[in-house]
Structure 1
Amino acid sequence: MHRFLLTGVLLLFSMASSAQFILKGKVTDAETGDPIAFANVLIQGTSVGVTTDFEGEYLIRTQTQGDSLTVSYLGYTTQSKKIQKLNEQTINFQLWPEAFELGTFVFEAGENPAFEIIRRASDRRKDFDKRSLEAYQTKNYTKIEVDIDNLSEDFRQRKSVRTVTAVLDSIRELTNDEGEKILPVFFSETVSQFFYRNNPELRKEIIEKTKVTGVGITDGSTTSQITGSVFQEYNFYKNWLRILEKDFISPIADGWKTYYDYDLMDSVLVGQDSCYKLQVYPRREQDLAFTGTIWIKKADYSLKQVDLTIPKAANLNFVERIKIQQELEHTSAGPLIPSKTRVLLKIGQITDDTAGLLAKFYTATDSVLVNQPKPTSFFNQAVELKPDFSSYSSDFWKSIRPDPLSDEELAVLQMVDTLKRIPIIRFYSEGLKFFATGYLPIKKIDLGPWTEFGNYNNVEGLRMGMGLRSNFKFSNKWLLEGYAAYGLVDQRWKYKLAATYILDRIRWTTLQVRSSRELDQVGLEMENLEGNSVFLAASRFGTLRRPFVSTNQRLVFQREFFKGFLFTAGINHFQFDPLFDFYYQAKGSNELKSQFKTTEIRGGIRYGRDELIIINDNTRASFGPNRWPIVALNFAKGIQSLGGDIRYTKLNFYLYQRLTMGILGVGRYELDAGKIWGEVPYPVLKNHLGNETFFYTTAAFNTMNFNEFASDKFVSLRYRQSFEGFLLNSLPLIKKLKWRMVGNANVLFGSVRNENIQNVPSIDPFGNPLKTFGRLDPSKPYVELGYGIENIFKFFRVDFFHRMTYLDQPEAKPFHVKVSAQIIL
């Protein structure tokens, strides 16, 4: 009997000792609710532990239950929770971010052992950079969520905000563990195909399916073009990653040792791959560099995973945190393509009584196909929507998602759908769009631009106006637009009427007819300021210099023959009616005239090799070039027929490029050159734009007076440098202010032929003296140099300019101080 009892006890003990305990859960960021991938989860007092996967989830199977579970990760506070006496249990963690202190890490004498690993990874960058492939294509699922967070009590107590929160009381509130509420305002899901081709480097995304819901979002087709993966590309095999128009240095870039320090933390198994786990730290916390963790495969020194953050101390405005997580997989040809990418962008409160912004981006990639390039013509349109891109049910989205939406994301969808129907929310969102775009959508037409509604100057007095344009709901073939304005003092009507017919949206082809009558200024014509409505409105305010009434009739044809190559041709009839004392001597005559007409036959080409352009309803919107310059060549022939009085020829060349210059920041240059053949009045010449105001502008020579110089042959080079945090990031007191140095160098060569000088009389027919125009010495350039500080109190900029030449000109000043305000990150 005792033997059987002893055997039973031993059997029960054996069963108990072999019992398996299951611990599972999810680790998330307490501020944002985002998963924390690659966090360490450990049963305290044991060596049993795992790391969380890309979704922040963990699963531990163990025979040792333990008393508590601890989660830790660099940049977050460590947290522990009790383990209950259950065989299977779920324990979730919400970790709070904490400030990262570089000074807490100490490296021993001699070379850091991590350096050799980084050196080899950097040396093999070309082997694993996906840009080394001849071509690749992927199928992508992209998810974007935008929330308002940091809802301060003062903000919540505003009357308009209380109205919103009252309506949302019936919906599950989204909070973190500390009860900090977030207010979702946008959610989108997109399925697309992404195509890349090397030599020439071309990209294209076809949006196959998309679902967009958001406060103030009224046009899914336009919004859907920027919710795909083409705008979520983060390639750490580049030296520099452009994020929010800022350039951040990669931890494995060529100059890694200048920017980073490293700590070899461990040797770990990630999936089936043995990897080095390294912590990376910026040498100067204000630099545009990352901090976090990277995993490098031992076998070939390729990146396996990255979890990197741009810390709050970096020289950025308003941005509290940017976090990028990636898992990378080898293609059949060797180079790596991210299989999953998660990006978090946290914008802080501008003032204490406002709210912050939280944006989350997630992209999953599969169906990778390499080295099967599409023809160049395939890439004509950078982002293309399939005709039925939005006609998919909720069941379809459930079936196509790589992972189901979490309970929090489902609550987000419900909240956004409710928010956008609240009248006060619609009022504010439409008002914000009206201010930003200049137009207010009203069914099939848009009211605006608001810059035409009112102005005041010495010629017109109070100017009042109104404008309308058709939108995509009216037609996807026709764009009709126009405005009318009236000055109470000059009692003249001004107007613009235009009709554009879109012949082809793939190879962008349009035909436009336009008629306008407007108040212009010599050297500051409205035609040159189109697309900059705020500056155009400002140029009409106050005292107008050499004003005239311009009347135009124009016919313009445009076609994009291949990716980035836009051809323009047309004819323009122009009438000049001066409102100041102006006369010129007509060619072959002693007669003095004050009015003239021109008829121009025009042609032009523009090429942006890697410029990203999307179709925004019935217009095109550029997101700028990446690496290559934008080149433009324009030709105009003035003819003495079809109402023209003058015969001449114009040729103009323009070149613009943005230069990433590493530690020196970002440079931008504009080369502008032109020549005019024929005898013409000086308003037809190139009247170089000066700036007598107290405000800095990139459009003008900031030490030149208005109408000081004109040329019929010229070349100018305008260069400006943003040094970001160069040098100032290293100064102990200044670096906390986050000031940034800027520089300018502008050079102009120009000349005027004798016949264009002689046709300008010094006195009018009544014997009164006339204003003429200044000419440049062909052998002596106009030079101005500038330097300054931007980001003063996050908004202001002060520039100091020195006029280096032509100091003997009337009213020339050798030194100028210019100020400006700007919102930059």
Structure 2
Amino acid sequence: MKRVLFGTALLFLITTNLIAQQFAIEGTITDRFTNHPLAFANIQVMNTSLGTSSNSDGKYLLRLEKGSYKIVASYIGYKSDTISLSVNMNLPINFKLIPTSINLDEITVLPKENPANAIIKRAILAKNYRNEKLISYKFNAYTKGIIKSTKDISSNSNSIGIGLGVKDTAELKITGILENESIGYFQKPNNYKEEIIAQKQSANFPSSINMLTGGRIIQNFYSDDIQFFGRELVSPIAENALEYYYYFIKDTLAIDNRNIFQIQFEPDYKSNPGFIGNLFITDSTFNLIKLDVNLNDAANPGGIFSRVNIIQQYLPYANSIYMPIDYRLFVIGNILGMAKFAFDIESVLYDYKINPKIDDNYFDMVVLKILPEAGKMDSSYWQNNQKIPNSLEEIEAYKRIDSVEAIPKTFADNFSWLSNYTWLSDNFSTVGTLNFYNFNKVEGHTLNGGIYYYDLLAKRLSSAIDFSYSFSDQKFKSSISASYLLGKYRTTEISFSAFNNLSVLFGESDEYGKLLSTLTSLLIHNDFRNYFYSNGFNFNITGAVFPILDLGIGFSNQTDKNSFVNTEFSFFRKDKFYEPNKLILEGKTVTFLTNFKLDFRKYIEDGFYRRRTAQGKSFFTIDGEAEFSNKSILTSTLDFQIYKLNLYVNLNSFKSTKYILEAKAFYSSDAIPYQFMEALPGNVSLLGKDFTFRTVNIFSTLGDRVFTLTSQYQFNDEIFKMLRIPFLENARLKLDAHFNIAWLSILDKTKKLNTISFQNSFPQFIEPLYEIGFGIGHQLIPLKLEFAWRLNHRNENGFVIGINSFAF
């Protein structure tokens, strides 16, 4: 059906942005006979690459410059409607589509072959042909994200949180909105870059949240690289799809005179993570033009989502290459029944340029760039550039959230009993309840205070002042630090700190929090740490000299003194005594240091910072440090050099599994003070931490020449799913295995220098220590049970059972 409309005599004029000279064409797409809105119907501007699609209420919004156009509205199962119009003002235009009939052609099917499989085979061939023709492309995208929860979202520049403890029956409401416009570029084989040219969000969101949307979250099902929640999933038209999914023809529909096969599918085995839903494939050409799918239960991480629905549509562009024109993601979840939430992400992709010439130099280390002016667009810009109309609920949510955020927050609004910091504003905090008090065998009861400033002077300056008073050693301690960031993206840091405090001996190897030692001291009369007094200052400069290389220099001056056990206080086990505090080598140490870091990951430029991103791919980093102490030039107590080298590898394996390795080398050229030595990362009693030696007691083994390799293979639940073990395959368990190596020695000169500290005990691993083990836990519980064995040196801790958690 065709109608010719001329808006000059029929419609009223609405004020528009005269600079952009774009006019709004908007309305509703419905079924002509039932008036039922057609959700996600397509709108195309003929002979251009422009278009949009309707929202879930059938409403659409199209922006066009002054001129004459033909606009086509289409929907699977309906005849398309084409309108010719002259645009020189805003025009309300509704489409009423007529259901279409079907004319079936014959499909050749081999004996005993599922007819749906024949269609999928042809669709895979069509996909491959399409991908061969597609060399590069450019597109524009408009994205809107809606967050829903039962309680208002709280946030600052560092975090976002939702309320807990709400019943399932509580009603969800819009508590956050974000919108952005972006331009994306792609070139074979795998070059991709995106620029966000405009962004806004409701007042309770930091602008950085817009980095999570747009083309970075959009999955293109014409690609075999489909990922959700860190897990690779098989596309329904992937090369191996017929071996993974079961298909059947559910219906045959039509657009105009073209038949469309509706094919329903699901994984062959329920334990296989993947998609369930419907594909819509054209007859004769076998192009995928739409999918409406959900993640199955096996792909649902921890079972926290009750719905993960993806809808995507495709239209042909130059050379009959089908490209995605939208992407809809609808998610509903509930974390352990305590935090009910939902989020919707809707993207419209338009203005495609197929196989344009793109300079290879354009694809650099930046994969996402937020332009400096992106967050400065005013309301008139969004009024004239919005591509998805706001619903009444969204309009009201914007008003409600902005009005709530305009109310000054009180101390009670920011206070939490379970926080390390209490935020007084977005840039200012003080010590929180979890940091206000601590206890150890040297200081006894200690009260802590602090004043912290963040992101001052255009997010360049941060500073901190910490102070405390301890009642057993009767000392007041303090430290002050500040850092300033230089460069357009703040890639160079100048930092300074001055301190007079109690330090943890071998603190670099300590993976546990201060709260744990406080609890073990007060409850079981056991402080597993040792301490020494230290005062002095540090000065450092680090910066990016190349996109992949950071270099730094620094200077340190510190004087260390011994500390002693000053209390035997504990609530229980009062008959016990704390272990004597380890003695160190007292004196002044003045050092000059240099460091480097190699990181080949690409990065995001968010307008302020460069943030590294692996994009779900394997990667590695290398960093090192050289520290020089000299008696004559630096007036240090000793002459020595210390060299450190670290390697980190994150290697993706099959499905969602990955292998992570950390290798560290520590080398001293001469005798060094006891407190400068390197301790193996061990553990406390039955507790454990990732990338530590589970069979080594914390701080028990140290050296001045050390090599460690700690590695972990994270199987997640893939092994249980592959073996299809009843109950276990759907139990959402997480399995990992670890393998560690340690080689450690001590120079005779270091032994002699630190005789009092060692007390004639020099534990070493001249023959490397080998340790192996595994852990098992649940995806939603931050605990896992671990089992570890020494493969040699089995004279102690040959076999250990422990509990691992980041909460310790």
TM over 0.5: yes
Aligned equivalents of 2:506 and 2:332: distance in 1?
43
For residues 259 and 643 of structure 1, do their structure 2 counterparts lie closer, same or farther at Cα, with a shift above 3 Å needed? farther
The equivalent position to 1:574 in structure 2, one of 543, 558, 561, is 558
For residues 593 and 408 of structure 1, do their structure 2 counterparts lie closer, same or farther at Cα, with a shift above 3 Å needed? closer
Q: CA deviation at 1:146?
A: 0.8
Aligned to 2:454: 471
Aligned equivalents of 2:601 and 2:257: distance in 1?
38
Aligned to 1:157: none
Aligned to 1:774: 763
Aligned equivalents of 1:694 and 1:142: distance in 2?
49
Q: Extract unaligned runs of 5+ from structure 2.
A: 1-30, 43-51, 60-75, 78-93, 98-108, 153-161, 522-526, 566-582
Aligned equivalents of 2:219 and 2:449: distance in 1?
44
Aligned to 1:396: 381
| 1:700 is aligned to 2:703 | no
For residues 495 and 662 of structure 1, do their structure 2 counterparts lie closer, same or farther at Cα, with a shift above 3 Å needed? same
Task: State the SS of the aligned residue for 1:181.
Answer: coil
For residues 443 and 350 of structure 1, do their structure 2 counterparts lie closer, same or farther at Cα, with a shift above 3 Å needed? closer
Aligned to 2:200: 211
Contact 1:209 1:392 in 2 (8 A): no
Aligned to 1:142: 143
Task: State the SS of the aligned residue for 1:489.
Answer: coil
Task: State the SS of the aligned residue for 1:756.
Answer: helix
Aligned equivalents of 1:535 and 1:795: distance in 2?
16
Aligned to 2:754: 760
Amino acid in structure 2 at the alignment position of 1:545? R
Task: State the SS of the aligned residue for 1:24.
Answer: coil
| 1:791 is aligned to 2:778 | yes
Amino acid in structure 2 at the alignment position of 1:386? P
The equivalent position to 2:233 in structure 1, one of 226, 248, 261, is 248
Q: CA deviation at 1:547?
A: 1.7
The equivalent position to 2:735 in structure 1, one of 724, 737, 741, is 741
Aligned to 2:720: 728
Aligned to 1:22: 33
Aligned equivalents of 2:247 and 2:586: distance in 1?
72
Aligned equivalents of 1:472 and 1:517: distance in 2?
25
Q: CA deviation at 1:743?
A: 1.7
Aligned to 2:539: 555
Q: CA deviation at 1:797?
A: 1.8
Q: CA deviation at 1:320?
A: 1.8
Q: CA deviation at 1:482?
A: 2.6
Aligned equivalents of 2:263 and 2:376: distance in 1?
43
Aligned to 1:813: 797
Report matched runs for 1:109-188 at 5 Å: 110-118=112-120, 136-149=137-150, 181-188=171-178
Q: CA deviation at 1:688?
A: 1.0
The equivalent position to 2:309 in structure 1, one of 314, 323, 332, is 323
Greater alpha carbon shift after TM alignment, 679-688 vs 193-202 = 193-202
Task: State the SS of the aligned residue for 1:348.
Answer: strand
Q: CA deviation at 1:340?
A: 1.1
Contact 2:666 2:705 in 1 (8 A): yes
For residues 179 and 630 of structure 1, do their structure 2 counterparts lie closer, same or farther at Cα, with a shift above 3 Å needed? closer
Task: State the SS of the aligned residue for 2:171.
Answer: coil
Contact 1:500 1:510 in 2 (8 A): yes
Aligned to 1:311: 296
Q: Deviations over 1:406-458 (max 9, x none)?
A: 2232233234335546789x8787447x9678451426523346653222222
Aligned to 1:648: 640
The equivalent position to 1:456 in structure 2, one of 439, 446, 468, is 439
Q: Deviations over 1:27-66 (max 9, x none)?
A: 6xxxxxxx5789xxxxxxxxxxxxx97634679xxxxxxx
Aligned to 1:588: none
Contact 1:638 1:644 in 2 (8 A): no
The equivalent position to 1:524 in structure 2, one of 498, 503, 507, is 507
Aligned equivalents of 1:702 and 1:123: distance in 2?
52
Q: Deviations over 1:546-590 (max 9, x none)?
A: 322233522222222344533333223333323369xxxxxxxxx
Aligned equivalents of 2:804 and 2:228: distance in 1?
24
Q: CA deviation at 1:147?
A: 0.8
Aligned equivalents of 1:150 and 1:90: distance in 2?
39
Task: State the SS of the aligned residue for 1:556.
Answer: strand
Contact 1:740 1:791 in 2 (8 A): yes
Task: State the SS of the aligned residue for 2:665.
Answer: strand
The equivalent position to 2:789 in structure 1, one of 789, 796, 802, is 802
Task: State the SS of the aligned residue for 1:723.
Answer: strand
Aligned equivalents of 1:652 and 1:698: distance in 2?
21
Report matched runs for 1:653-668 at 5 Å: 653-663=645-655, 665-668=657-660
For residues 806 and 578 of structure 1, do their structure 2 counterparts lie closer, same or farther at Cα, with a shift above 3 Å needed? farther
For residues 664 and 244 of structure 1, do their structure 2 counterparts lie closer, same or farther at Cα, with a shift above 3 Å needed? closer
Contact 1:134 1:371 in 2 (8 A): no
TM-score by length of 1: 0.72
Aligned equivalents of 1:567 and 1:202: distance in 2?
28
Q: Deviations over 1:337-371 (max 9, x none)?
A: 532111122112523xx451011111222334544
For residues 371 and 266 of structure 1, do their structure 2 counterparts lie closer, same or farther at Cα, with a shift above 3 Å needed? farther
Aligned to 1:510: 493
- Give the RMSD, CA atoms, in angstroms: 4.4
Contact 1:478 1:502 in 2 (8 A): yes
Q: CA deviation at 1:400?
A: 0.8
Contact 1:609 1:629 in 2 (8 A): yes
Aligned to 1:295: 280
Contact 1:657 1:668 in 2 (8 A): yes
Q: Extract unaligned runs of 5+ from structure 1.
A: 1-19, 28-34, 39-51, 60-70, 73-87, 92-106, 152-160, 166-177, 582-591
Task: State the SS of the aligned residue for 1:559.
Answer: strand
Q: Deviations over 1:610-636 (max 9, x none)?
A: 35456697x776565632423122121
Contact 1:566 1:606 in 2 (8 A): yes
For residues 519 and 245 of structure 1, do their structure 2 counterparts lie closer, same or farther at Cα, with a shift above 3 Å needed? farther
Contact 2:489 2:610 in 1 (8 A): no
Aligned equivalents of 2:603 and 2:640: distance in 1?
36
Contact 2:231 2:655 in 1 (8 A): no
Contact 2:656 2:716 in 1 (8 A): yes
Report matched runs for 1:275-674 at 5 Å: 276-296=261-281, 303-312=288-297, 314=299, 316-317=301-302, 318-329=304-315, 337-348=323-334, 350-351=336-337, 354-369=338-353, 370-373=356-359, 375=361, 379-380=365-366, 382-387=368-373, 389-393=375-379, 395-420=380-405, 430-431=414-415, 438=421, 440-442=423-425, 444-448=427-431, 451-472=434-455, 475-506=458-489, 508-525=491-508, 535=513, 538=516, 542=521, 543-579=527-563, 594-612=585-603, 626-640=616-630, 641-663=633-655, 665-674=657-666
Q: CA deviation at 1:813?
A: 1.6
Task: State the SS of the aligned residue for 1:26.
Answer: coil
Task: State the SS of the aligned residue for 2:175.
Answer: strand
Task: State the SS of the aligned residue for 1:389.
Answer: helix
Aligned equivalents of 2:793 and 2:296: distance in 1?
48
Aligned equivalents of 1:467 and 1:616: distance in 2?
30
Contact 2:230 2:656 in 1 (8 A): no
Aligned equivalents of 2:745 and 2:384: distance in 1?
69
Contact 1:443 1:473 in 2 (8 A): no
Contact 2:770 2:792 in 1 (8 A): yes
Task: State the SS of the aligned residue for 1:604.
Answer: strand
Aligned equivalents of 1:438 and 1:149: distance in 2?
25
TM-score by length of 2: 0.73
Q: CA deviation at 1:803?
A: 2.1
Contact 2:280 2:290 in 1 (8 A): yes
Task: State the SS of the aligned residue for 2:389.
Answer: coil
Aligned to 1:97: none
Aligned to 2:3: none
Amino acid in structure 1 at the alignment position of 2:617? R
